[in-house]
Structure 1
Amino acid sequence: MTTLDVEEADIAWGDDAPVLRGVTVQANPGEILAVTGTSGAGKTTLLSAMAGLLPPVTGLVLADGEKVTDRDQAVKLGIVLIPQDNGLAAILTAAENISVAVIATGGTAAEARRRTAESLEPLGLSAQANQLIEELSGGQQQRTAIARGLALRGDVLLADEITSELDAANRQRVIELLKAEAARGVAVVFATHDPEAAAACDRELHLADGEAVWARP
């Protein structure tokens, strides 16, 4: 499995001043790393850099020593991102959103059908498989995005505030699924503002004032 490193990175959006400065962090196979901080602290910024969406101004993002240069390369390296805004196609069904993603990353049609069913079931969405995304509630859409991320079977899983719209039972369900991913050797990075969710993770990196400080190394 893959180790993901961010080394001495300044990370900014466009020509703006860096949101994060001098960040160094390692996400290891088999563990869940919580990234915490208040709204605007840079959680999404850090995960975007890890996912190849936002090249650092200075410093490096490395997957097993290989420089991550853009999103296409990150996908090839097995880096899966579940974004905060879910990124689902409203005109497709829940199942179609997942199947299309699996096929786009090299899965066969048969694999896509199997992985779609396997990822929807533990999130309580089997009955909603053939509903359009626009017909689902906010929480159901969020769970569909999580199911899609799990179905891609990456080596690194970046999850950005993926429990924000979920009730307590579904939050716990998602945390257990992230733990299962870590158990199969995935490096999981979970950005969250929820202290209870962060406490369930193996380590915690806290972002504040543009810097990253280990709360639990």
Structure 2
Amino acid sequence: MRTLTVDAADLAYGDAAPVLRGVTAEARPGELLAVTGTSGAGKSTLLNAMAGLLVPRSGAVSVDGVPLVNRDHAVGLGVVLVPQDNGLAAILTAVENVAVAVLATGGTSAEARRYSTEMLASLGLSGQTDQLVDELSGGQQQRTAIARGLALRGAVLLADEVTSELDAANRQRVLELLRGEAARGAVVVLATHDPEAAALCDRELHLADGMASWVRG
């Protein structure tokens, strides 16, 4: 089990002014951490830093005390990111997108097909397994991206606005699966502007005016 730590991090893109300043937070195994804030508050910026995509201008983001230096390094430490734009391969079907992740973790082709089909079914996508990504609605794409992220079985799972296009029933399905990841000992961080989704998490870090503060922590 790993711990994800953000220590006095200033997060900025290029030479621009920092989007977030002095962020300090810890995401622990076995619980759901919500990162909240209005659009533009820096939720995706913080998750990008947690995923190794953005190196802090000052301070550090670490997994078990090891500062992340880039995305490849983060992947090697078991950090999985489900991005806001879903990141799915448009030339693949829903089930193929998930199966690729299973294969990447050492599963066989048969295991990949079986797991992918079961995971998509658990997210209400039994009828969409063989549809191309472009044939899926925004909410269906979000759920497919979650299925792929779960298939990677990461030590850290970062989910960026993955419930934004979902109705209440599908939001509940996703949150239950994220809770399952936490139950197996993963660190789970959910960036969301949805107060109902945030309320179902164990702790909440709120971003506003370039700063981070604990609402529940």
Q: Calculate the TM-score normalised by the size of structure 1.
A: 0.96
Corresponding residue number in structure 1 for 2:42: 42
Cα distance in 2 between the residues matched to 1:159 and 1:144: 13
Corresponding residue number in structure 1 for 2:183: 183
Corresponding residue number in structure 2 for 1:82: 82
Amino acid at match of 1:150: L
Instruction: Give aligned pairs, total.
Output: 217
Gaps of 5+ in 1: none
Deviation per CA, 1:87-129: give whole Å up to 9, x if none: 1111110111112233335444344223312321210112211
Question: Does 2:62 correspond to 1:62?
Answer: yes
Q: Percent of aligned pairs with the same residue?
A: 74
Cα distance in 1 between the residues matched to 2:105 and 2:85: 21
* Larger deviation, residues 124-133 vs 150-159: 124-133
- Regions of 4+ moved over 6 Å: none
Alpha-carbon RMSD across the aligned residues, in angstroms, is 1.2
Q: Secondary structure at the match of 1:157?
A: strand
Corresponding residue number in structure 1 for 2:28: 28
Cα distance in 2 between the residues matched to 1:64 and 1:197: 27
Cα distance in 1 between the residues matched to 2:105 and 2:22: 33
8 Å CA contact 2:104, 2:152 repeated in 1: no
- Cα deviation, residue 14, structure 1: 1.8
TM-aligned CA distance change 1:111 to 1:66, over 3 Å: farther
Q: Calculate the TM-score normalised by the size of structure 2.
A: 0.96
8 Å CA contact 2:6, 2:61 repeated in 1: yes
Corresponding residue number in structure 1 for 2:93: 93
Amino acid at match of 2:125: L
Corresponding residue number in structure 2 for 1:165: 165
Cα distance in 1 between the residues matched to 2:118 and 2:66: 31
Corresponding residue number in structure 1 for 2:194: 194
Q: Secondary structure at the match of 1:127?
A: helix
- Cα deviation, residue 182, structure 1: 0.9
Q: Secondary structure at the match of 1:60?
A: strand
Corresponding residue number in structure 2 for 1:146: 146
